[in-house]
A and B are shown apart, each in its own frame.
Chain A
Amino acid sequence: MVESRHSISRGLWRKIHKSPLFDITQFVLLIVLILWFFARSTEQLGYNWQWYQVPRYIFQMTEDGIQFGPLWEGLMITFRISAISLVLSLVIGLTTALLRLSHSFVAKTIARVYLELIRNTPLLIQLFFIYFVLGPVLGLSRFPSAVLALSLFEGAYASEIFRAGIVSIRRGQWEAAYSLGLSLFDTYKDIVLPQAIRRILPPLTSQAISLIKDSALVSTIAIYDLTMQAQAVIAETFLTFELWFTVAGMYLIVTATLSIIVNIMENRFKMVT
């Protein structure tokens, strides 16, 4: 008797748990809580919100058409650095993964040293090292230094993702390709990578999002990316909270867009099962 009552209440609980109403209630509660928290804290700070000031730092309409503000320009810089670094980090990541999986001792060692070096030091130090030490030697200005640092850093993580994806392909696939006489290059290109990419895509997306967020660090070598522009505007206007919220929102839009694009790609890659 006791047991059956127990199971009834469990079933009820599961029903509640599954209904969309439950999710919505949760969500609303969360929002209310956050708003309350901010209201309280700004009240105590005595902060004077001036949201109406913000849009013109992004863009404004004048007689001559749209005038882009510093935040928009910063966003474009962030975009460019992230995009170039992303492509480079994928190339570096894949190359390193292939080196690590090769049979050559030298190649494996090089890959290993690179990985350990990058993963065990902070990105900020790497950035400074490349800009202040390597930069003058190699003649790298700010922008290439920033791109190089970001690509090397994210490339190390990307390579682990690639490697995991490649080794997850069953041995039988390699053996079938081998017995058909396919070259190593063709085996990777036609058999292994197309299958691995489906497994690699989700973690690689998180890595790309990290890259976009990490790119904020380039402001430390005085590149006027989104973060740097925000700092500059705040120094002038003291719109601290409004601008930081806006900038966070802009990063969020970029990363969310990336996620959506990858999602669409993923669906296109889906295997027929």
Chain B
Amino acid sequence: MAVCGRIFEIVSRRCNDNQLVVTIPNIGPRSIQRLCINITPLRKSHDLRQFHKLFLGHDTDIEELFYMAFKDEGDNIIVVDNISKTFPGGVKALVDFSTKIHRGEVVVIIGPSGSGKSTFLRCLNGLEEIDSGTIEIDGIPLDDNKNNRLEIRKEVGMVFQLFNLFPHLTVLENINLALRRVRKKSKEEAIRTSMNLLEKVGIAEKVDNYPSQLSGGQQQRVAIARALAMMPKIMLFDEATSALDPEMIGEVLDVMKKLAREGMTMVCVTHEMGFAREVSDRVIFMEAGRIVEVGTAKHFFTDPNEERTKLFLSQIL
């Protein structure tokens, strides 16, 4: 508790101190809260002196600090242990893949085409069956138990590259459907929730339109609202902006950033490094079904360790 208070004090002082330039895009109550949550594990696994040195040194980067704090045990909402997935054709999409993701963490996954990024996301909500290993979502094991599976599907929202809106339903009905059928909400309540969400993603005026009457960016924002309607604890984004015209990418990223700032746990497959830099806590670079390198977005921009990472980044940046 004492350490927590002390850190809090330092953080607030440093943030208020105009003399020191602290280069973090979104330092705010949430970041501080997160930092405090993760003090316990930090103390357990890291030398506190190292921590202080990092923090008090002039070139200290708080982003880096958060990364350290997040690296180990904590309030893990996603625990993936040693999973493998081989497709019928013999393609090894995931090989002994392990990672832990904290509540409220924003993870960006990058990697070349065919490296297993989508497969990893799809395993997290059971869209793809794993061959071995275990996945736990907020304490619930993703196994053959139907109830567990349903619980996980309710807790994990997913946004697809090609939106996958229901073309025969209006925008409102698209969002309403799961609220009515799965959450068993009354009609009025479902409409109220849907309208709030549509307002949040900025297309409240399109409620009665059909998906085909919307632009790509608008469709993707409806898809995000649709997933949010289930009030998920985790949101998965699989190249949510890849199918969009350049001028529409921004509006979708803005919604995603807003979500991240509100503390949503997010796992995003994206090549938008600007997004990664602005809101992500951790970037995972994978290749051929394996994790090659993990670090902050800044780390990837400035000094990636692996040659393969450098090569990949030089291609996409």
Give residues in A with beta carbon < 8 Å to B.
170, 172-173, 175-176, 178-183, 186, 190-191, 194-195, 271-273
Is the CB–CB distance between B160 and A175 below 8 Å?
A: yes
Is the CB–CB distance between A180 and B226 below 8 Å?
A: yes
Select one of A172, A179, A273 contacting B227, CB under 8 A.
A179
Q: Write the B221-251 contact mask toward A (1 if CB under 8 angstroms, else 0).
A: 0010011001000000000000000000000
CB-CB under 8 A from A182, the residues of chain B are: 177-178, 181-182
CB-CB under 8 A from B126, the residues of chain A are: 178
Is the CB–CB distance between A180 and B160 below 8 Å?
A: no
CB-CB under 8 A from A179, the residues of chain B are: 125, 127, 153, 156-158, 227
Point out which of A172, A178, A180, A195 has the most chain B C-beta atoms below 10 A from its C-beta.
A180
CB-CB under 8 A from A180, the residues of chain B are: 153, 177-178, 182, 226-227, 230
Is the CB–CB distance between B230 and A181 below 8 Å?
A: yes
Instruction: Report the minimal beta-carbon distance from B212 to chain A, rounded to whole angstroms.
Output: 5
Task: Please name the residue on chain A nearest to B122 by beta carbon.
Answer: A175
A176-B223, A195-B168 are known contacts; what are 5 more A-B pairs with Cβ within 8 Å?
A: A175-B127, A175-B160, A180-B178, A181-B230, A190-B166
Instruction: Report the minimal beta-carbon distance from B63 to chain A, rounded to whole angstroms.
Output: 31
Select one of A170, A181, A191, A195 contacting B182, CB under 8 A.
A181
CB-CB under 8 A from B206, the residues of chain A are: none
Interface size on B, residues (CB 8 A): 27
Instruction: Report the minimal beta-carbon distance from A175 to chain B, rounded to whole angstroms.
Output: 6
Is the CB–CB distance between A194 and B182 below 8 Å?
A: no
Is the CB–CB distance between A175 and B210 below 8 Å?
A: no
Is the CB–CB distance between B166 and A173 below 8 Å?
A: yes
Task: Please name the residue on chain A nearest to B125 by beta carbon.
Answer: A179
Q: List 19 A-B contacts (CB under 8 A).
A: A170-B164, A172-B164, A175-B158, A176-B164, A176-B166, A176-B223, A176-B226, A179-B153, A179-B157, A181-B153, A181-B154, A181-B230, A182-B182, A186-B181, A194-B168, A271-B167, A271-B212, A272-B213, A273-B212
Q: Bound state CA distance, A181 and B152, in angstroms?
A: 8
B292 interface residue (CB < 8 Å to A):
no
Q: Bound state CA distance, A170 and B168, in angstroms?
A: 13
Q: Bound state CA distance, A186 and B160, in angstroms?
A: 21
B198 interface residue (CB < 8 Å to A):
no
Q: Bound state CA distance, A195 and B210, in angstroms?
A: 14
B150 interface residue (CB < 8 Å to A):
yes
Select one of B156, B160, B210 contacting A172, CB under 8 A.
B160
B130 interface residue (CB < 8 Å to A):
no
Is the CB–CB distance between B178 and A181 below 8 Å?
A: yes
Q: Bound state CA distance, A270 and B298, in angstroms?
A: 51
B165 interface residue (CB < 8 Å to A):
yes
Q: Bound state CA distance, A273 and B209, in angstroms?
A: 10
Q: Bound state CA distance, A273 and B177, in angstroms?
A: 21
Task: Please name the residue on chain A nearest to B126 by beta carbon.
Answer: A178
Instruction: Report the minimal beta-carbon distance from A170 to chain B, rounded to whole angstroms.
Output: 8
B162 interface residue (CB < 8 Å to A):
yes
Is the CB–CB distance between A195 and B226 below 8 Å?
A: no
Point out which of A179, A190, A191 has the most chain B C-beta atoms below 10 A from its C-beta.
A179
CB-CB under 8 A from A175, the residues of chain B are: 127, 158, 160, 164
Interface residues of B in 108-144 (CB under 8 A from A): 125-127
Q: Bound state CA distance, A117 and B311, in angstroms?
A: 61
Instruction: Report the minimal beta-carbon distance from A265 to chain B, rounded to whole angstroms.
Output: 15
CB-CB under 8 A from A271, the residues of chain B are: 167-168, 210, 212
Q: Bound state CA distance, A194 and B168, in angstroms?
A: 8
Interface residues of B in 149-188 (CB under 8 A from A): 150, 153-154, 156-158, 160, 162, 164-168, 177-178, 181-182
CB-CB under 8 A from A195, the residues of chain B are: 166-168
Task: Please name the residue on chain A nearest to B182 by beta carbon.
Answer: A181
Instruction: Report the minimal beta-carbon distance from A103 to chain B, rounded to whole angstroms.
Output: 12
Point out which of A173, A176, A271, A273 has the most chain B C-beta atoms below 10 A from its C-beta.
A176
Is the CB–CB distance between A191 and B127 below 8 Å?
A: no
Is the CB–CB distance between B127 and A183 below 8 Å?
A: no
- Contacts A175-B164, A176-B160, A178-B127 given: A183-B210 contact, CB under 8 Å? no
CB-CB under 8 A from A176, the residues of chain B are: 158, 160, 164-166, 223, 226
Task: Please name the residue on chain B nearest to A197 by beta carbon.
Answer: B168
CB-CB under 8 A from B158, the residues of chain A are: 175-176, 179
Is the CB–CB distance between A172 and B162 below 8 Å?
A: yes
